[in-house]
Each structure stands twice: as structure tokens, then as C-alpha cells.
């Protein structure tokens, strides 16, 4: 076995230090070491998007980043985004539109949608579909998700005036 | 959204039935604060990794576990033979599927592996990574056996018989001959035949199968945390095969990351986990990784069906004939069996039409591939694709419009009650109203004109129609009569708490459909309380009434009615207490918005919390001999009809590029009739999700095996599924024909989308390619399949 590596990173605003095996990926680290189980694991080969987290401001697949690569980084998970209120309107739109059924893809969907919404403007449905096309949902057929993202974009644009 | 609702005026408070209220359980899921089994950790929990057979068919000559046992973190290494002492084998048969046979299946293979991916040894370690490390050091000595992979080859006299004691590889056969098929064919103006091919596909639930079994030797009790649709069924099965009393097993179902029928079955590796926990006297966790999911989650479909239709020149359909063959892997799944799908195909073909001349044969065969079993819309996509594919071919043969031939033959809306050639009983369906509504919604004539215009420019668009019937609200006829201990009845307990809040315990389960929401809606509506005051408990054999769970589109229709009846009964009991307190009569009182009110004027008399306070804390102030009963239980099971059939029709509009074989989905429509709609948004989303799950196998999804029984695309990168960018917007509408078997009148809606979507898409592709005179009857219709049909590859 390869020796553990010490890492220190900021997760949802809290500084965390840990010794991790070099092979442990970030999603496992968040789930198993920090009990932040909102980051879900669907495929562990970077396809499904359920493990999406924000790493230094960019949405990445938690299963394709090693925990050691996150040393010194800032990580935001769905729990952190929920507590800060950053995506409260998006979550409300998902709730009202029933844009989730089993909820397993949802954290990844929210992170990915917020990335698009943060670019500003009101993207058309095709743009939303294209942006969300790396996130797998088996329940909804995607339309409700597209609707919820579109509604949030329009509301944010209206609020900006 | 809903056409009518017989139960309520929507302007009353607490009128939740028919309203698109959001699901109460969404907030925690939206914050990533749900609890899926894969999220859970218990003290002293061991993690299991399975060594799985790399061969489709092989004798296990020996297993060398010495090195693995010495690996870091390893708690135990257990072979099939060792586990067989703790867990007895099972045989997946049901007595009402006459002649169905299968062989004993063990939790872990004992001396022979029968498909690539079957578990042959288990390693339990402190972490999953350690268990996987150790699993790599287990050396299994296999003797490869000849695999049986092709379903037709499996039936040839010289084929290897997978289970020699069964005599051959034919698990089940059913024949049906109704009416006068030969005469009809002889007298027909056109007879069209086609061979339909349905690829194997699978559920790909985003959360893989997950289970934690926790044997407490002190209590003599096994608690199983499992992503399952049927906790009471699992309780029974686990107890039976671990030699425990049912009372010694508790099954708890938390949040489930997708199911669709995948998680309603008894999986050998999950039984192994339960047995390992008992053997090791500690909690054991197993979460399938994605490769394990592809190799061991049940697969579905895999049918070859020869179909024939006879038609008169005026469009009257005079006969259907099918000869279906399906391969199910090496064992019939337990306890629901793998013969149900073929049986459904026989039942359903042509069931929407008036024709009564019908001949069918279905054969179910063993092979050395992963097991297949019931997956969303069991049998329906096969039956619908064959029926509706044949109807389109017949229409083409006599030069009739696809909508017109359907209108000519669909059972009239005033013909009910009636039945089908195969003996199905229909209480009330609405094929014609649905067809009319669909054609208006999609603007059929304008779309045909647009299609014709574009064709002149070399753009090939197609319109595909697919009518369907769907089995919902199954009675005991599905499993119980065949000897399976699977409840067809569901129960709901509802109580008034001392705070005036309502707690509901139901035997139906939640995997995202909205079971919790509709239970809260129906109960709140029945009682007259705000929905926020209702808390629903489900998925726990210790804490819910006994019942079936959520599968076969039964939760709303059966569990919903139980909730309705329980809510009404509790209301009567609350009013009895209130009448005593108010020295009034229960008949003169009502409950509105959480208050006891005077009936008629709605003048508030007592809040429910005051009724509860007196009943619980000051019963001494109530008259002598009066006993309040503020908790009631009601059960419901349909008795008059074996199934509450629903109906509907879908349409697909798409474009095919004849140079590349690519299909672009432009739009999809569905009109369906599930009776009373409890929550229109949830129903529509079930339809949409179901449609996309039907589009998947029509265009993309395929478990591709090679001739040696090796699954060649067991990863999400290689097994394609519908993604957001390729899916169309889907318009959904309803016709409402409530079932009179229940007061609520609700039928199921979970599978209608999946039932009809493949046929609609296939028919649309064939319609698009009509100028090239090709017909495609094979799914998935990959670009390669389309280009082959066009003669371009």
C-alpha cells in the first residue's frame, strides 16, 4: 500500500485536514471522511455527473479528481451551496416544477445548472439542454429540469432589471 | 389539467386531490440531505466485494483464498459452499404459470457459474477498497463450459442443456388460440408479416443496488437497510432462506436512487449480504459498482417476435398472430419469475382493438447471460411495438392513413365493460377520446402537410402513432394466486397526534414517484387538514401496515384508496369525539383546515389540537363509557377486476438523416387515461420520465453480448442512455375514466410512457423512411441499423 498523504483544504468554508490514500477520489473523501453524502456516486468513471462539486470555482466530477489534488483548494458541495443560500431560488424552482424524482442526480444537476445561470442572461432551452447534457437523470426525462432552470434564469434576469 | 374530479370542489380548503402540490420530501433531497442506503454507515460495518465469474459458463474446480485472507483489513473470505450452510437456495417458479421450471439458485455460486458476473466468492473487509484489493488475490480454478447464448440455438435438440435435470432449455411455453384465425387470414385482403427484434437493455438506476444487513445476535434480529420496492416481500424471503422467523427480520427502505423495477427482485448477491451478516455477526454493506450493475442488475426484453396481421381493404383488422421467443438468462428470477413478461406479451397484443381472432405462442428459454426479469412496463413495449408495428404495415399495405386505421379498429368508448381476445377484462377505456385529443393536440393534419412539404426538399420527417393498454392496480391474480407471498393489498394507518398533527403509515414505498406526496394529499383531503400537518412514514416493516409496496403501477390506485378510506374513518372518529365535547352530533359537524366546524356554515368550533388535548389528557371530562379512537387502519385491494387497465396513445415526430442514419427527435405527445388524477404534475412527470425510458431502448440502450456470453459494453461510457440534449419536449394530456372499484377512482400511471414510446418512435422512423420503401422492426434503431435498412452499409 502506498503511504497516506496529508492534505488541507477548505470544504464549504471550513478548513479540513486529513491523511488520505493517494488513490482516494474527492467524492469518496467528501462522503466517507466528511460525511457530506450529498455528493452522490453513480458511475465512478466521469460519465453520470452525480458527483459534481465546485472546485476552486469550477464544476468538476468528484470521481475524476483525487483527494490529494484538492490539497489547498476550495471545495463547495450541494450542502454548502444550500446553506449559503446561493441556489435557494433554483432549488425552489426544482421543487415547484418537480424537477427531481428519486433525487440522486439532483445535487449534480443543481451545481451544473448554477454554473450556466452564473453566466447571466436567459439561455434558450437548447442551450440549457446542451449545458446539462453531461448529467444523467433516469427519472424525469429532463424536461422538468430544463423548465426549472429556464424559470430561474428568467426570474434572475427580471430581478436584475 | 384534469378534465374532472368527482371528489371535490377545488375552491374548498384542503382540496388536494387533483392539485399539483409539490412533494413534501423534496426539500431535503434538494439539499443533498436525503438518506440513501449507499450513504449509510453503521458501527463495525464490514464492506463486501464479490469475486465474479469472468466466464458465461464454467465449472468451479477450486478457490484459493489463502493470500486474500492475509490482506490488510480483511475480515473474512466466504465461498458459495460455506455460505450455502447459512442460506438455502431458491427456485423462481409460480404455480399459475403452468409448466414454468427453473433450477435451484444459490446466493453465491457453489460449483458452477452460469453467467459472466455471477458471484463466486465474497470478501469482507474494513473498507470496500480493501475488500477489492483482497478480491484480486483470490484465485478461482475454472473449467470453461460451452455457453448457451443464442435463444433459438438454445432450443435445438443438440444444444447444451444448462440445467441437465430440467431436460431442456425451455423454461416456459404458452399457447393461445382465440376466434378463427385461419379463416380470417384466408379471407383477408392483405396479410402482412414481420420479424420484430428487441434488444436487451437494463435499468441503470443512478444509485446502484445497495444493501446493509445488520444481524444483532443479542436480539436475534436482522435489520436490512435496502433500496427495495417491496419491503414485506423481502422480509419474507430473507427470513425463509436464512431460516429465521419473519418477526426476526426488519426491512427498512430509505431514499432510493431510482428503481423502475430493478429493485423489486431478490438478487443472489443481496441475499449473500444478509447471510454474511448473520454468519459474521456484524453489519455488512454492499453497493454495486457500475460494472456490477450492468452485469447483475436484471436485464429486460431480449425478444424475437414473429408477427402477422390480416386486414380487409376497408381497414378492418381480422387477425393477429404472434410467435414470441425470449431469453432470460440461466435462472428464472425469484420470486416473481422471468416468465411474466412473455405471458404479458401474449395477454396484451391487439388488446386495444375489436378484433377477436388471435393466435399466440410465447417461449421463454434459458441461456448463459445475465438474468432478465420485470422492468418498467413489463411486456408492454413488446406487445405495443408488435401490435402497432403490424397495424402500420397493414395500413401501408392497403393505402390507409395510420390514424384512420386505428380509428376504424379501436374498441369504441361506449362498448364497456368488455374484453379482449386473450381474455383481458376492461372496465372503462377511452381509446377514441384519447385518439381525438392527441390528433388535435399535435395538429395531425398540419403536421402531415409539413412533412409532405419538407420531403420535397429532401428532409425526411416521420410521424409515428402508438395506442396502448396498460396493466395497473394488480390484484392477487399477478403473484398471490401463483403461491408467492407478495401482498396485493395495501394498508394505511392514520392517527391524530396530541399536537393536532397527523401521522400516516403506509405500506406503499417511495422511489421518487411521489408516493409520500399523494398519500399526504389524499389523507389531508379526506380529513380536512392542511397538508403540511401530515407526516408520512413508509418503507419499514416494523412501522407500516403489511402490504405490497410500489410496483406494477399500483401505489396510487391501491395505497391511495387505503389512505382515502383511513382518512375518512379517522375523520368520523374525530367528529365523534368533537360531538361529545360540543354536545352536538357528528352529522352536524365537519373538519375544515384543521378545525372542527359546523357543517354548512363552516363556523369554527374547535381546533383539532383541542380535540386531541381533551381525548388524550382530559378523557375524564368525556362521558362515561366513551372511548376515543384517534388512530385507524384501512386496507384496500381490487376484487372485481384482476387489473385496472388504462389506455392511451403516443405520437412521435422526428427527422431521419438518410446519409448518417441519425434520428433527431422533434416532439412527443401522449394522451393517457389513468382515471382520477390525484396530482397532475406528478402524473405528467411519470409519463414524461416513462416516455424517455422507452425512447432509450428504441434508439440507444443495448446490452451487447458477444457469442461467448461476454457483455461488451458494461460501462456508462459504452451503454448509451437518453441525455438532456437529445430528448424532445413532451406534451401530456389526459382523458379521465375513473375505476369504480375504488371511491378515489385512480389507476396507475407509472408505466404508460414506457409502454408506448418505442412503438411511436419506430413507427415514426419507418414513416420518415417510407419514400425509401424500408421497414425497420429492430430496436435499438442505431444509425447502423438504419443505414443497413437503407442499403448504405
- CB contacts of A94 in chain B (<8 Å) are 26, 30
Same domain as B541, residue B404: no
Same domain as B737, residue B669: yes
Q: Tell me whether residues B31 and A39 touch, CB distance under 8 A.
A: no
- Tell me the C-alpha distance between A143 and B219, whole Å: 49
Question: In the numeric block, which cell numbers belong to residue B313?
Answer: 381493404
Query: Domain holding B673: CATH number?
Result: 3.30.365.10
- CB contacts of A39 in chain B (<8 Å) are 32
Nearest to B325 by CA among B292, B300, B302: B302
Q: Is B768 helix (H, G, I), strand (E, B) or coil?
A: helix
Tell me if chain A has a CB within 8 Å of the CB of B729. yes
Neighbours of B164 (CB within 10 A): 9
Residues 6+ apart with CB under 8 A from A47: A134, A136, B715, B716, B717
Query: Domain holding B291: CATH number?
Result: 3.90.1170.50
Report yes or no for ipTM above 0.85: yes
- Tell me the C-alpha distance between B676 and B776, whole Å: 37
Q: Tell me whether residues B30 and A129 touch, CB distance under 8 A.
A: no
Task: For chain B, report the end-to-end CA distance as a whole number of angstroms.
Answer: 47
**Residue B240 in domain:** yes
Of A96, A105, A136, the CB nearest to B22: A96
Q: Tell me whether residues A102 and B730 touch, CB distance under 8 A.
A: no
3-state secondary structure B582-614: HCCCHHHEEEECCEEEECCCCCEEEEHHHHHHH
**Residue B162 in domain:** no
pLDDT at B14: 85
Same domain as B272, residue B404: no
- CB contacts of B258 in chain A (<8 Å) are 101-102, 104, 138-139
What does the pLDDT look like over A136-159, one tens digit per residue?
A: 999 999 999 999 999 999 999 999
Residues 6+ apart with CB under 8 A from B71: B125, B130, B133, B134, B137
Q: Which of B590, B613, B636 is the last residue of a domain?
A: B636
- Name the CATH architecture for the domain at A5-81: Roll (3.10)
Nearest to B693 by CA among A149, A160, A142: A142
**Residue B186 in domain:** no
Same domain as B644, residue B587: no
Neighbours of B166 (CB within 10 A): 14
What does the pLDDT look like over A89-103, one tens digit per residue?
A: 999 999 999 999 999
- CB contacts of B681 in chain A (<8 Å) are 97-98
Please state the domain count of chain B.
Answer: 3
Tell me if chain A has a CB within 8 Å of the CB of B33. yes
Of B23, B30, B730, the CB nearest to A143: B730
Length of chain B: 793
- CB contacts of B30 in chain A (<8 Å) are 82, 91, 94-95, 100, 103, 106, 110
**Residue B172 in domain:** no
Of B31, B692, B717, the CB nearest to A141: B692
A106 burial class (0-12, 13-18, 19+ CB within 10 angstroms)?
buried
Same domain as B277, residue B344: no
**Residue B725 in domain:** yes
Tell me if chain A has a CB within 8 Å of the CB of B682. yes
Phi, psi of B434 (to 5 degrees): -70, -45
pLDDT at B11: 53
- Tell me the C-alpha distance between B409 and B406, whole Å: 5
Of B27, B681, B692, the CB nearest to A142: B692
Same domain as B567, residue B681: no
Residues 6+ apart with CB under 8 A from B235: B224, B246, B249, B250, B251, B541
**Residue in the structure block whose three cell numbers are 375504488:** B742
pLDDT at B263: 97
Same domain as B233, residue B89: yes
For domain A87-160, give its CATH number from 3.30.230.70, 3.90.1150.10, 1.10.150.120, 3.20.20.120: 1.10.150.120
Shortest CA distance from A42: residue in chain B: B206
Give the distance from residue A109's alpha carbon to the nearest chain B alpha carbon, in angstroms: 10
Same domain as B402, residue B317: yes
Supply angle C-alpha B472, B443, B398, rounded to 5: 80
Instruction: Tell me the pLDDT band of A120, cut-offs 50, 70 and 90.
Output: very high
Tell me if chain A has a CB within 8 Å of the CB of B713. no
Shortest CA distance from A50: residue in chain B: B206
Same domain as B553, residue B470: no
- Residue-number span of the structural domain to which B462 is assigned: 299-475+640-789
Residues 6+ apart with CB under 8 A from B487: B232, B233, B480, B507, B546, B547, B548
Tell me if chain A has a CB within 8 Å of the CB of B9. no
**Residue in the structure block whose three cell numbers are 384466408:** B186
Nearest to B370 by CA among B720, B701, B57: B57
From the centroid of its chain, how far is CA B249?
Answer: 25
Same domain as B271, residue B338: no
Question: In the numeric block, which cell numbers belong to residue B552?
Answer: 406494477
Question: In the numeric block, which cell numbers belong to residue B571?
Answer: 375523520
Q: Tell me whether residues A94 and B30 touch, CB distance under 8 A.
A: yes
Mean pLDDT per block of 10 residues along chain B (793 residues) reads 42 85 95 98 98 98 98 98 97 95 98 98 98 98 98 97 98 98 98 98 98 98 97 98 98 97 97 98 98 98 98 98 98 96 97 98 98 97 98 98 98 98 97 98 98 98 98 90 92 97 97 96 97 97 96 92 98 98 97 96 96 98 96 96 96 98 98 96 98 98 98 97 98 97 95 97 98 96 98 94
Q: Please report, for chain A, the start and end positions of each structural domain, with discontinuous segments joined by +.
A: 5-81, 87-160
Tell me if chain A has a CB within 8 Å of the CB of B724. yes
CB pairs under 8 A between A and B: 173
- CB contacts of B41 in chain A (<8 Å) are 35
Same domain as B613, residue B645: no
- CB contacts of B257 in chain A (<8 Å) are 40, 42, 102-104
- Tell me the C-alpha distance between A70 and A46, whole Å: 17
Amino acid at each position: 500500500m502506498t503511504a497516506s498523504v496529508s492534505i488541507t483544504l477548505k470544504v464549504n468554508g471550513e478548513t479540513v485536514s486529513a491523511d488520505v490514500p493517494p488513490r482516494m477520489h474527492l467524492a469518496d473523501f467528501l462522503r466517507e471522511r466528511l460525511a457530506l453524502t450529498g455528493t452522490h456516486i453513480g458511475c465512478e468513471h466521469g460519465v453520470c455527473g452525480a458527483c459534481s462539486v465546485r472546485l476552486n470555482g469550477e464544476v468538476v466530477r468528484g470521481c475524476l479528481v483525487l483527494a490529494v489534488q484538492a490539497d489547498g483548494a476550495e471545495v463547495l458541495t450541494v450542502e454548502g451551496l444550500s446553506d449559503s443560500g446561493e441556489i435557494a431560488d433554483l432549488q425552489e424552482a426544482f421543487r415547484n416544477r418537480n424537477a427531481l424524482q428519486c433525487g440522486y442526480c439532483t445535487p449534480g444537476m443543481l451545481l451544473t445548472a448554477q454554473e450556466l445561470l452564473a453566466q447571466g442572461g436567459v439561455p434558450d432551452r437548447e442551450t440549457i439542454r446542451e449545458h446539462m447534457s453531461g448529467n444523467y437523470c433516469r427519472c424525469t426525462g429532463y424536461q422538468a429540469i430544463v423548465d426549472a432552470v429556464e424559470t430561474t434564469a428568467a426570474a434572475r434576469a427580471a430581478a436584475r432589471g | 389539467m384534469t378534465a374532472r374530479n368527482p371528489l371535490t370542489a377545488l375552491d374548498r380548503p384542503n382540496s388536494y386531490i387533483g392539485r399539483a402540490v409539490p412533494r413534501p420530501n423534496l426539500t431535503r433531497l434538494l439539499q443533498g440531505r436525503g438518506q440513501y442506503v449507499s450513504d449509510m454507515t453503521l458501527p463495525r460495518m464490514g464492506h463486501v466485494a464479490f469475486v465474479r465469474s469472468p466466464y458465461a459458463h464454467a465449472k468451479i474446480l477450486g478457490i484459493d483464498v489463502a493470500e486474500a485472507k492475509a490482506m490488510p483489513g480483511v475480515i473474512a473470505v466466504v465461498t458459495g459452499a460455506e455460505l450455502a450452510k447459512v442460506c438455502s437456495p431458491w427456485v423462481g417458479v409460480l404455480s399459475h404459470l403452468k409448466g414454468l421450471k427453473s433450477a435451484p439458485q444459490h446466493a453465491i455460486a457453489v460449483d458452477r457459474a452460469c453467467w459472466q458476473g455471477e458471484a463466486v466468492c465474497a470478501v469482507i473487509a474494513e473498507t470496500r477498497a480493501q475488500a477489492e484489493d483482497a478480491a484480486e488475490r483470490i484465485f478461482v480454478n475454472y473449467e470453461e463450459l460451452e455457453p448457451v447464448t443464442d435463444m433459438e440455438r438454445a432450443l435445438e435438440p443438440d444444444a447444451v442443456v444448462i440445467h441437465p435435470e430440467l431436460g431442456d432449455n425451455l423454461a416456459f411455453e404458452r399457447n393461445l388460440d382465440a376466434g378463427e384465425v385461419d379463416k380470417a387470414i384466408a379471407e383477408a385482403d392483405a396479410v402482412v408479416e414481420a420479424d420484430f427484434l428487441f434488444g436487451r437493455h437494463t435499468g441503470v438506476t443512478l444509485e446502484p443496488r445497495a444493501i446493509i444487513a445488520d444481524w444483532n445476535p443479542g436480539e436475534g434480529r436482522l435489520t436490512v437497510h435496502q433500496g427495495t420496492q417491496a419491503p414485506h416481500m423481502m422480509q419474507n424471503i430473507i427470513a425463509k432462506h436464512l431460516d429465521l422467523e419473519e418477526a426476526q427480520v426488519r426491512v427498512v427502505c430509505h431514499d432510493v436512487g431510482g428503481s423502475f423495477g430493478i429493485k423489486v427482485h431478490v438478487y443472489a448477491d443481496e441475499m449473500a449480504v444478509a447471510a454474511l451478516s448473520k454468519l459474521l455477526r456484524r453489519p455488512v454493506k454492499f453497493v454495486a459498482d457500475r460494472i456490477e450493475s450492468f452485469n447483475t442488475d436484471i436485464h429486460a426484453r431480449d425478444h424475437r417476435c414473429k408477427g402477422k396481421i390480416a386486414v380487409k381493404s376497408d381497414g378492418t383488422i381480422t387477425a393477429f398472430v404472434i410467435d414470441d421467443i425470449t431469453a432470460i438468462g440461466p435462472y428464472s428470477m425469484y420470486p416473481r419469475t422471468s416468465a411474466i413478461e412473455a405471458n404479458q406479451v401474449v395477454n396484451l397484443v391487439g388488446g386495444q382493438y375489436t378484433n377477436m381472432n388471435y393466435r399466440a405462442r410465447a417461449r421463454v428459454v434459458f441461456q448463459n447471460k445475465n438474468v432478465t426479469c420485470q422492468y418498467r412496463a413489463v411486456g408492454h413495449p413488446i406487445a405495443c411495438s408488435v401490435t402497432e408495428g403490424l397495424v402500420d404495415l397493414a395500413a401501408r399495405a392497403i393505402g390507409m392513413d395510420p390514424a384512420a386505421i386505428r380509428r376504424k379498429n379501436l374498441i369504441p368508448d361506449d362498448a364497456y365493460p368488455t374484453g379482449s381476445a386473450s381474455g383481458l377484462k376492461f372496465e372503462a377505456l377511452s381509446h377514441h377520446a384519447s385518439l381525438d385529443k392527441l390528433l388535435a393536440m399535435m395538429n395531425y393534419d398540419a403536421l402531415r402537410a409539413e412533412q409532405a412539404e419538407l420531403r420535397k426538399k429532401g428532409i425526411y420527417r416521420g410521424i409515428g402513432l402508438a395506442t396502448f393498454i396498460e396493466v395497473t392496480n394488480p390484484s392477487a391474480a399477478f403473484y398471490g394466486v401463483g403461491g408467492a407471498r407478495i401482498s396485493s393489498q395495501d394498508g394505511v394507518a392514520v392517527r391524530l397526534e396530541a399536537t393536532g398533527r397527523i401521522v400516516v403509515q403506509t405500506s406503499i414505498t417511495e422511489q421518487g414517484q411521489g408516493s409520500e406526496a399523494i398519500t399526504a394529499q389524499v389523507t389531508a383531503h379526506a380529513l380536512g387538514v392542511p397538508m403540511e400537518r401530515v407526516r408520512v412514514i413508509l418503507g419499514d416493516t416494523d412501522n407500516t401496515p403489511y402490504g405490497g409496496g410500489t410496483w406494477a403501477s399500483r401505489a396510487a390506485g391501491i395505497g391511495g384508496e387505503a389512505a382515502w378510506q383511513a382518512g375518512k374513518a379517522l375523520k368520523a372518529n374525530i367528529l365523534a369525539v368533537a360531538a361529545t365535547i360540543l354536545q352536538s352530533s357528528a352529522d352536524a359537524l365537519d373538519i375544515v383546515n384543521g378545525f372542527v366546524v359546523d357543517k354548512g356554515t363552516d363556523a369554527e368550533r374547535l381546533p383539532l389540537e383541542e380535540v386531541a388535548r381533551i381525548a388524550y389528557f382530559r378523557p375524564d371530562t368525556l362521558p362515561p363509557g366513551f372511548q376515543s379512537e384517534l388512530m385507524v387502519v384501512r386496507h384496500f385491494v381490487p376484487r372485481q377486476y384482476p387489473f385496472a387497465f388504462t389506455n392511451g396513445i403516443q405520437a412521435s415526430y422526428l427527422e431521419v438523416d438518410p446519409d448518417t442514419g441519425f434520428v433527431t427527435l422533434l416532439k412527443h405527445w401522449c394522451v393517457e387515461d389513468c382515471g382520477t388524477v390525484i396530482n397532475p404534475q406528478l402524473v405528467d412527470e411519470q409519463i414524461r420520465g416513462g416516455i424517455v425510458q422507452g425512447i432509450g431502448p428504441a434508439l440507444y440502450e443495448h446490452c451487447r453480448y458477444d457469442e461467448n456470453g461476454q457483455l461488451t459494453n458494461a460501462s456508462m461510457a459504452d451503454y448509451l442512455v437518453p441525455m438532456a440534449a437529445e430528448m424532445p419536449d413532451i406534451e401530456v394530456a389526459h382523458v379521465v375514466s375513473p375505476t369504480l372499484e375504488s371511491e378515489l377512482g385512480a389507476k396507475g400511471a407509472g408505466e404508460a410512457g414506457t409502454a408506448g414510446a418505442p412503438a411511436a418512435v419506430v413507427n415514426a422512423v419507418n414513416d420518415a423512411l417510407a419514400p425509401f420503401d424500408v421497414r425497420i422492426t429492430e430496436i435499438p434503431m442505431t444509425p447502423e441499423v438504419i443505414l443497413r435498412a437503407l442499403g448504405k452499409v
